[in-house]
Amino acid sequence: MLQYFLRRLVLTIPTLLVVSVISFTLIQLPPGDYLTSYMAARAAQGEMMDQAAIDAMTRQYGLDQPMYMQYLRWLGKAVRGDFGQSFLWNRPVSELIWERLGLTVAISLAALLFVWAVAFPVSVYAATHQYSFGDHLFSFFGFIGLGFPDFMVALILLWIGYRYFDTNLGGLFSDAFIEAPWGWPKFLDMLKHLWVPMVVLGMGGTAGLIRTTRANLLDELHKPYVTTARAKGLTETKLLFKYPVRVALKPFFATLGWQLPNLVSGATVIAVVLSLPTTGPLYLQALLTQDMFLAGTIVMMLSALTVIGTLLSDILLVLVDPRIRYGGG
Amino acid sequence: MTEPRTPSVAASPSEPSARAQRESAQTAEDKIFVASQGQLMWWRFRKHKPAIVGGIIVILVYLVALFCEFLAPYDPVKYDQKDTYAPPQRIRIVDQGKVQSPFVYGLTQSRDPVSYRMMFQVDQGKKYPVRFFVRGSAYKMWGLFEGDLHLFGIDDPEGSIHLLGADRMGRDVFSRLVYGARVSMSIGLVGVILSFVLGITIGGFSGYYGGALDTVVQRIIEFIRSVPSIPLWMALSAALPVDWPPTKIYFGITVVLSLIGWTWLARVVRSQFLSIREEDYVMAARLSGTGEVRIIYRHMVPAFMSYIIAQMSLSIPNMILSETSLSFLGLGIRAPAISWGVLLQEAQNLRAVALAPWLLAPGLAVVLIVLAFNFLGDGLRDAADPYSR
């Protein structure tokens, strides 16, 4: 078992390397680079830059070197934690991301907890009370959760808040706390705002998870061992939670692999709508302005999260269901 | 498999009718034995009511997308400052207690003395009858046929009919929604077909030949999948040159969407190939000297084709959603072109939405079509394997 974990751990390194190549290629794809768009912006303002200044900037950012040299330089520094300089913000990329990473992860985890907290009781109820009113009600909500794009839900929530309660549900802090240093009051203020992104982000995932878990649990409940246990006089609660629920819970862990990055990247669209101070809007802006080191680092970071999430979910799956065996492990 | 009812043992009916019943049950049973696989599927699909409803909605929306020039009362880019944020008008048939042919009331405008905002009031004095098959703004259907016939509209140039209101520039939201259907609906279809071709070819080769090729393909798929899709789509769409014409952007976005879509299809096809390759009937075909190509297309592909098609219909809504999200962020289809995502960009401004909630209408269209596709896909998936339970 340990051997399997170690092998998986080692395998993530080449995966991440290839991912870094992909990220770097991606950010090189748009024609032109930051300098051309920067100069276009300056020219639009009527400022002309002399050739010497352009050359100096080109050299400074290493834009005159061939592609693979630029990549190696970027990678070499990245390993040491230096992800380069953001052209747009004129600040180190790592600083910019670190600033927002905490909140991004906090929101994603909150959403994940929301998904689990809602999906677990609901799916168990729906499966044990199949075709009851509650079951139909939940599957109706499930379809709504599946059909509404998350940014649509965000827009509607914002609109309801604005129109009927005269509050702005966007953002993560009240105006008074945006610039305030971290402290207890600021934290409490954040909790007050956190529920909107939490619900919006979690909705789609919850709907999907309820569907699979309900179906799984229904399959389990019709197996002979359940009848045997019931015939032997086991109480319904114990019977339910001891075996069928445990087996049906597999999708909870299996989804962790894609839930984690999905929540982070799904947050991109929602964060723009809800104006959350997360990495999402930063990424969008970086892409639009060809701020390539920033964009590349964020792609890299999100991919790393996916790889780690998949690894975690595989490990959890083995722990939860000992019947799963991976190649000789 | 309950389509032909089992012969019910009739307790009371007279002898001839009982026999007729038995005979009809007999023929029904015979029918099921000789029915082709397609018929079995259709019988099974027919019983899935939500899927039928979903299928009808999908067909209707595709028809709307096909004939959008004819169905939209206005030119989608025609703007009119005096109609800015005009509210939706209801089609009425009752005027002062009397039922008559459909009409809309006119709107009168006034400025709010406090906020200087344009206010619209329904003016019961002005009535504009709704006419069908009216001559209106000229268009070129599919870029081929010129015409000016519209399904409905208003003769009087003074009045207007905005079923879903008007937007910031006074453009008719209903017309824009109808035109947007063309891009949004077709991008899902084209994207899925593209990923289908890629997926079935690559997955098929990988699954059938196995070995080193299989390993390489599987690694590539894993790499693509380890990059989260939305950021990847965003990066790829941002890479499309800004100065491309709308048609080129459209195909660019489709390609970008299917670049990731093919991976899971390839996986499904591969795993199906792997399991079917070991089936006895494939072995039998091989033993009787059937060629490789014939084995694949005649014996293996039909075995999982219906399953793949069901899966495809479930992935179209994802494509539509992705296009909407991308365009919404300003990375997908761009402004002069119209898609539902582009229309929703208007709704990004909270103040505008509070003022004109009907700007959210394209979002509801997305919800409707996504749900319809999901129901349809569910039904197709059940029907895909008519021999199960």
**CB proximity A140 to B under 8 Å:** no
Asked if A268 and B231 come within 8 Å (Cβ–Cβ), the reply is yes
Higher pLDDT, B370 or A164: B370
What domains can be seen in chain B, in order of their start residue?
69-171 (no CATH), 179-383 (1.10.3720.10)
When pLDDT is cut at 50, 70 and 90, the band that residue B297 belongs to is confident
Asked if B235 and A26 come within 8 Å (Cβ–Cβ), the reply is yes
> What number of CA atoms fall less than 13 Å from residue A234's CA on the CB side?
15
Predicted confidence (pLDDT) per residue in B54-89, tens digit: 889 889 988 888 888 888 777 777 777 777 777 777
DSSP secondary structure code for residue A148 in this structure: S
| Confidence at residue A266, expressed as pLDDT on a 0 to 100 scale | 58
- B127-136: long-range contacts (C-beta < 8 A, 24 or more apart)? B127/B95, B127/B103, B128/B103, B128/B104, B128/B154, B128/B155, B128/B156, B128/B159, B128/B161, B129/B101, B129/B102, B129/B103, B129/B154, B129/B155, B130/B91, B130/B101, B130/B102, B130/B103, B130/B104, B130/B154, B130/B161, B131/B155, B136/B73, B136/B74
- For residue A308, what is the nearest residue in chain B, using CA coordinates? B226
| Confidence at residue B9, expressed as pLDDT on a 0 to 100 scale | 43
| Confidence at residue B11, expressed as pLDDT on a 0 to 100 scale | 43
CA distance B204 to chain A (A): 24
Predicted confidence (pLDDT) per residue in B303-329, tens digit: 777 777 777 777 888 888 888 888 888
CA distance A258 to A271: 19
**CB proximity A207 to B under 8 Å:** no
> Residue A130, SS3?
coil
When pLDDT is cut at 50, 70 and 90, the band that residue A144 belongs to is confident
CA distance B196 to B309: 9
Predicted confidence (pLDDT) per residue in A237-278, tens digit: 888 887 788 777 777 776 666 566 666 665 677 888 887 777
Q: CATH number of A93-320: 3.40.190.10, 3.40.50.2300, 1.10.3720.10, 1.10.10.10?
A: 1.10.3720.10
**Which residues are within 8 A (CB) of A144 and not within 5 positions of it... i.e. 6 or more apart?**
A207
A 32-61 residues with CB < 8 A to B: none
Asked if A287 and B234 come within 8 Å (Cβ–Cβ), the reply is yes
CA distance A181 to chain B (A): 29
Predicted confidence (pLDDT) per residue in A267-310, tens digit: 677 888 887 777 778 888 887 777 777 777 887 777 777 777 77
Residue with tokens 């808040």: A161
Asked if A152 and B229 come within 8 Å (Cβ–Cβ), the reply is no
Asked if A22 and B230 come within 8 Å (Cβ–Cβ), the reply is no
Predicted confidence (pLDDT) at residue B1 exceeds the cutoff of 60: no
| Confidence at residue B277, expressed as pLDDT on a 0 to 100 scale | 78
Q: Cβ of B116: how many Cβ atoms within 10 Å?
A: 7
| Confidence at residue B91, expressed as pLDDT on a 0 to 100 scale | 76
> Residue B101, SS3?
strand
Within 8 A of A266 by CB-CB distance, chain B residues are 230
Segments of chain B assigned E as strands: 92-95, 98-111, 118-129, 131-141, 145-153
pTM: 0.76
CA distance A125 to chain B (A): 23
A97 contacts A298 by C-beta, under 8 angstroms? yes
CA distance A137 to chain B (A): 16
CA distance A208 to A255: 10
Asked if A302 and B354 come within 8 Å (Cβ–Cβ), the reply is no
Predicted confidence (pLDDT) per residue in B97-135, tens digit: 777 777 777 777 777 777 777 777 777 777 777 777 777
Nearest to B230 among A29, A158, A265 (CB): A265
Mean pLDDT in residue range B255-284: 81
| Confidence at residue B18, expressed as pLDDT on a 0 to 100 scale | 61
The radius of gyration of chain B from alpha carbons, rounded to an integer in Å, stands at 27
| Phi, psi of A313, deg, nearest 5 | -70, -35
Residue spans of the domains in chain A: they are 32-82, 93-320
For B270, counting Cβ atoms within 10 Å of its Cβ (0-12 exposed, 13-18 middle, 19+ buried), the class is buried
The radius of gyration of chain A from alpha carbons, rounded to an integer in Å, stands at 24
Mean pLDDT in residue range B334-353: 80
When pLDDT is cut at 50, 70 and 90, the band that residue B170 belongs to is confident
Predicted confidence (pLDDT) per residue in A92-108, tens digit: 777 777 777 777 777 87
Predicted confidence (pLDDT) per residue in A49-107, tens digit: 677 777 777 776 666 667 777 777 777 777 777 777 776 777 777 777 777 777 777 78
What is the dihedral sign for C-alpha B292, B298, B302, B308?
positive
